[in-house]
Amino acid sequence: MNFAEGEVLLINKPLNWTSFDVVNKLRYAITKKLGNRIKVGHAGTLDPLATGLLIICTGKMTKRIDEFSGMDKEYTGTFFIGATTPTYDSEMEPDAVFSIDHIDGKLIKETQQKFMGVMEQMPPIYSAIKIDGKTAYQQARKGKEMEMKTRTIEIKEFELTRIAMPEIDFRAVCSKGTYIRSLAFDFGKALNSGGYLKSLCRTKIGTFDLKNSMTVDECVSMISTS
């Protein structure tokens, strides 16, 4: 493999790793192999509590990072209905609890239909979005108020694959910039309850598929023997 000329590596990001943890691990392995440092970057951040497909680009292929990041993405995961958290996922403990007694299959189906197509979505305050040059989640952790703005996103496919209240499993195909954590929060609110993202896995980026990915250890081993 020619890492300086440019390679695209498909990685299955482990739970509790940041996307930059993966980049740093592979950059170290490549530097050790080549004896010199080259560009290594990722195309599309995954939260630490998410797993799944991460595209790593090396050398001249880093010029295509924006192209890959702009592709549609497919996710699978689980919503927890009946509570909300400040981060919209399970990183923090619930800050509010809601009834789910009124929720039935009919209401869930009607609500599902509301989350198809082009819509405005409010990103979580605990996100990497920068406002006036400051990262939102860093300011949120300091207890500072940040004025978040909605963004236009598109959910092209939204399928509920298991309903076992208070959990709902889903599969979604969406545009760049979509926050699945916000989808979980908004979905719970639309059910006249609350919701947060219990688990998330990115399964596709454009035509790139998680099925063709490697673990971090497998990739490190491949780099050292290539």
Which residues are catalytic, by number?
47
Which tokens sit at 1?
A: 């493999």
Secondary structure string (H, E, C) spanning the chain: CCCCCCCEEEEEECCCCCHHHHHHHHHHHHHHHHCCCCCEEECCCCCCCEEEEEEEEEHHHHHHHHHHHCCCEEEEEEEEECEECCCCECCCCCCEECCCCCCCHHHHHHHHHHCCEEEEECCCCCCCCEECCEEHHHHHHCCCCCCCCCEEEEEEEEEEEEEECCEEEEEEEECCCCCHHHHHHHHHHHCCCCEEEEEEEEEEECCEEHHHCECHHHHHHHHHHC
